[in-house]
Chains A and B, each alone.
Chain A
Amino acid sequence: MNIVVCVKQVADINIPIELDPETNSIVNEELAYVVNPYDMLAVEEAVRIKAKTNGQVTLTNLGESSAEMALRKCLALGADRAILLCDPALADSDGYATATALAKAIALFPYDLVLCGVRAIDTNAGQVGSAIAAMLGIALVTGVTKIEVSADQKKVVVQRKLEGGNREVVETPLPALLTVEAGLNKPTYPGLPSMIAAQRGKIERYDIKGLGLSLNEVGSRGARTNTARLSPSKPRPKKIFTPDSSLPAAERMRLIMSGGIAERKGGLLEGEPAELASKLIQFLRQEKLLPQ
């Protein structure tokens, strides 16, 4: 069974990104890169299916030369072949233009199953997988959390994630494209020999000519979306003490001045030691710090 997995190299979102307010774009210099975690799940699943079906796993990636790193990481997981679509003309491709190039690459070879991450954690657009399926004219199931290949390898039964914790079971003939969700599996950590082998593995490179694409179909010219503005998400303000507007103004002011904390008067106990001890115990009981 021939399985193709589309992988994307993304900025590590655990490292804070900086936005350039002038150009509305992410400042690239300080970024660290990782393989999109959803794509890692797809690679892992492909390798598991391969083991059961005696198949082959091919990786495709659209990116700059540096994306080789992502492909080698996935090779280490057990993929057999890696294809890098690398061409300056591909820069600034949106989801649609990326899908165009990937669909062409996938169609170059025989395939039964195409796996993609449900979305990439950098843009969270979730467009590419669906677009590829449409371009290839094959079945599409999104948000897949479980995959079972039938014994005759002609169809798959998958579970997909719905809202509210629900799952849907879908059967689809092959070839099909599945976009995979979190919960599908837990990627294994490749051993050192696999990692070394992956470093030596061959990366097959294609430019747009090799894919049979024209300049108008890819990059910004092939894009169907336009980034109007990029801004950090608007997180909710952290709760801060705010007096209720319905309170009288003097009370609002009192609460503001105390920071919303009720001021408590300290007290000083005076007297003979024995008397002091009983007063202290009485106080602690009153404050519910000692049992009654």
Chain B
Amino acid sequence: MAEPEFRHLFSPIKIGTMTVPNRIVFPAHWTWFFSPHEAPNEKIMHYFAARARGGAGLIVTTPNMVWPPTTSGGYVATRDDEAMPAFEMISRAIHEHGARAVAQLVHLGPDTGVLESGGAGLAASAVGGISGLLPSILGSDIPHEMDKDDIKQIVTSYADTAYRMRETGYDGVEVSSAVGAGMLLVSFLSPLTNRRTDEYGGSLENRFRLHTEIIDAVRKAVGSDFVVGLRLVGDMLVDGGTTLDDAKVLAAKVEAGGKVDYLSICAGRAGHIPPMLFPLGCFVHLAAGVKEVVNLPVICHGRINDPAQAEQTLSDNQADLVGMARALICDPEWPNKAREGRLDEIRKCIACNQGCYMNFQKRLPITCTLNPAAGREKELATIVPATTKKKVMIIGGGAAGLETARVAALRGHRVTLYEKEKELGGQLNIAAKIPKREDFAEVPRYYTYQMNHLDVEVFLETEVTVEMVKEKKPDAVVIATGSIPSRPPVPGGDRANVVWVRDVLRGEAAVGENIVVIAAEHHEQALGVANFLAGKGKKVELINHCLYAGIELDSGTMGFMYRQLLNQGGVITPLTRVKEIEEHAVVTLNVLTGVERRIEGVDSVVLAAIGKADDALYRALKGEVKEIYAVGQCLSPRLLPDSIWDGTRVGRCL
């Protein structure tokens, strides 16, 4: 083993009566691996076990509902005895690998409306509605204002659930007062949603009263030799919400109460899953602020993806443990690799939010753009050696080709990879040119290292022809040649002032001062290139035919790309399509009303569109070689997660 370079990161810590072997926490997050109506299943057990095996010290599992069935039926919660064996299975799987297991206690409060429970949401006051850019995926109904009986029942259900978690072998429970899982408590804590005039409303102390009652009841139920943690919002990041100043007061109060063993400090809804546009460690200051006033162990959160960064945060005493949900979704082996000094092997989370948060928003099981095995641990986490070792020729060094090469090489095949550009990465290198999207460059970094590490023979600046393939006589060929531009089928689409998004980002297409960006795709290309140009001082208008631009982005990434563009004077015009492109004007139509508009003085038109498959080589070789596959955009132009997923699958069936 290498020198313990990360001394703080890998030192044990005592939290209450529990010793955690290191400072790495896999914090609670929603997975949609099972609906809240069901008991946890094997899928989530394998998911947690993989992170424990990978070396995380503490795993906080969720969702563990504490729902009383009176006001809203439906939830099979942890309060149901039938679900106990499932929770036992999880705690056992985590313990098997030396990690500690804490169960987060969840009550969604106002967010658990008709959609989930068939009943009504519960909250401090009858205040609901849409607080973010999009409605809560769980519904935006007006909740039922809790009376004293409701409160009593909720307090009891927290205590009951905590007791059951203890019975199922967990080391502790965490009461969540975070956006999402802890919305019931947030509804009491935030002056924006708490309009009560009784002892649960008004002052900060009153708004925190339910927290205190729950914590006291939980502690009483579990006794002194079981860990009780509290996840608290460090800054709600909305005007009128609680701030870091409030969090410090509450943290000190919690410590003085003596019932809580640790604090986990997160950010409010506007930033609770910070996208790539945020700097690394963006919410560490909240934990550091709380740590100034308490001695309790404090967990920090917010884009921690690098061992050196995590170590620095700990050695600077800004936190006692680091919470890294996405970093460990992306690479469950992150802790082991860091401990053994295999830093280049770590596949770092780039906070693209496409596999995790986006799937969450779609109510689909979460996964990871870069690690398709996330959430499919049972099926994919182990790469099985191939029975017949083949000579595999991969053409195209973009995401799909690289992932195919990585998996094929791990299975023992002899892999050669050809790329026509000077470097590996394909479109990722272009995406990384977008302001605050530079982290996309991490992906080619990771794969370039892996190619070398796995002895994949790489030929750069090599364009492969049919003859070359025939001459090399590979056992299998994988075509990953990506996509090529397609011009829009509108009058004037072939004019010289119409340029392709990739050429603009690569700096290969000259553009004027006044620019119209046409969004013929709904992910990040249009918003990205608009930001790129606005950042250079250009006047940019983005037109798109949907209700809003970037409709395929997760709300976090979308919101912050909007913010960046609008702050730089950019204009976004929805529900609009192009009728004609002229030499110095663009004529548009409203897609609903058909009303025409002329945008005058346009110097350049940038077309943001997913290209068409560059599959000429694939079609020419089909039937000419023993085994052939098309992957990524060459198969069908889609997004990054799909390209990597192709590589993962084809690499496994070669």
Which interface class (under 10, 10 to 19, 20 to 34, 35 or more) fits B? 35 or more
Binds B, one of A114-122, A181-189, A236-244: A236-244
A22 CA to B20 CA in the complex, in Å? 11
A253 CA to B270 CA in the complex, in Å? 9
Q: Confirm or deny: B277 has a beta carbon within 8 angstroms of a beta carbon on chain A.
A: yes
A16-43 interface (Cβ within 8 A of B): 16, 18, 21-22
Q: Confirm or deny: B198 has a beta carbon within 8 angstroms of a beta carbon on chain A.
A: no
Which interface class (under 10, 10 to 19, 20 to 34, 35 or more) fits A? 20 to 34
Nearest chain A CB to B18's CB is how many angstroms away?
10
Q: Confirm or deny: B282 has a beta carbon within 8 angstroms of a beta carbon on chain A.
A: yes
B285/A242 in contact, CB under 8 A: yes
Residues of B within 8 A of A256 (CB): 271, 278-279, 282-283, 285
Q: Confirm or deny: B385 has a beta carbon within 8 angstroms of a beta carbon on chain A.
A: no
Q: Main SS of the interface on chain B? A: loop
Question: Are A238 and B318 CB-contacts (below 8 A) given A256-B271, A256-B283, A257-B282?
Answer: yes
Q: Confirm or deny: A193 has a beta carbon within 8 angstroms of a beta carbon on chain B.
A: no
Residues of B within 8 A of A243 (CB): 285
Q: Main SS of the interface on chain A? A: loop
Q: Confirm or deny: A248 has a beta carbon within 8 angstroms of a beta carbon on chain B.
A: yes
Q: Confirm or deny: B245 has a beta carbon within 8 angstroms of a beta carbon on chain A.
A: yes
A143 CA to B319 CA in the complex, in Å? 37
Residue-wise, chain A 235-262 has the 8 Å CB interface mask toward B (1 for contact) of 1111011110100111011001111000
Q: Confirm or deny: B203 has a beta carbon within 8 angstroms of a beta carbon on chain A.
A: no
Q: Confirm or deny: A234 has a beta carbon within 8 angstroms of a beta carbon on chain B.
A: yes
B13/A21 in contact, CB under 8 A: yes
Question: Are A245 and B19 CB-contacts (below 8 A) given A21-B13, A237-B291?
Answer: no
Residues of B within 8 A of A258 (CB): 279
Q: Confirm or deny: A265 has a beta carbon within 8 angstroms of a beta carbon on chain B.
A: yes
B238/A249 in contact, CB under 8 A: yes
Residue from A21, A241, A249 in contact with B285 in the complex, judged by beta carbons closer than 8 Å: A241
B237/A235 in contact, CB under 8 A: no
Residues of A within 8 A of B19 (CB): 21-22
Which residue on A lies nearest to B20, using beta carbons? Answer: A21
Q: Confirm or deny: B243 has a beta carbon within 8 angstroms of a beta carbon on chain A.
A: yes
Nearest chain A CB to B325's CB is how many angstroms away?
19
B317/A235 in contact, CB under 8 A: yes
B284/A240 in contact, CB under 8 A: yes
Which residue on B lies nearest to A259, using beta carbons? Answer: B279
Residue-wise, chain A 157-193 has the 8 Å CB interface mask toward B (1 for contact) of 0000000000000000000000000000000000000
Q: Confirm or deny: B103 has a beta carbon within 8 angstroms of a beta carbon on chain A.
A: no
B295/A245 in contact, CB under 8 A: no
Nearest chain A CB to B479's CB is how many angstroms away?
40
Instruction: Give 8 pairs: A residue, B residue, CB < 8 Å, sorted on A.
Output: A235-B317, A237-B292, A249-B237, A249-B238, A249-B239, A249-B270, A250-B239, A257-B560
8 A-B pairs with the lowest CB-CB distances in the bound complex, closest first: A238-B316, A245-B243, A21-B14, A242-B285, A237-B288, A245-B245, A237-B317, A259-B279
What is the interface of chain B, defined by CB distance below 8 A to chain A?
Answer: 7, 11-14, 19, 235-239, 241, 243-246, 270-271, 277-279, 282-285, 288-289, 291-292, 295, 316-318, 535, 537, 560
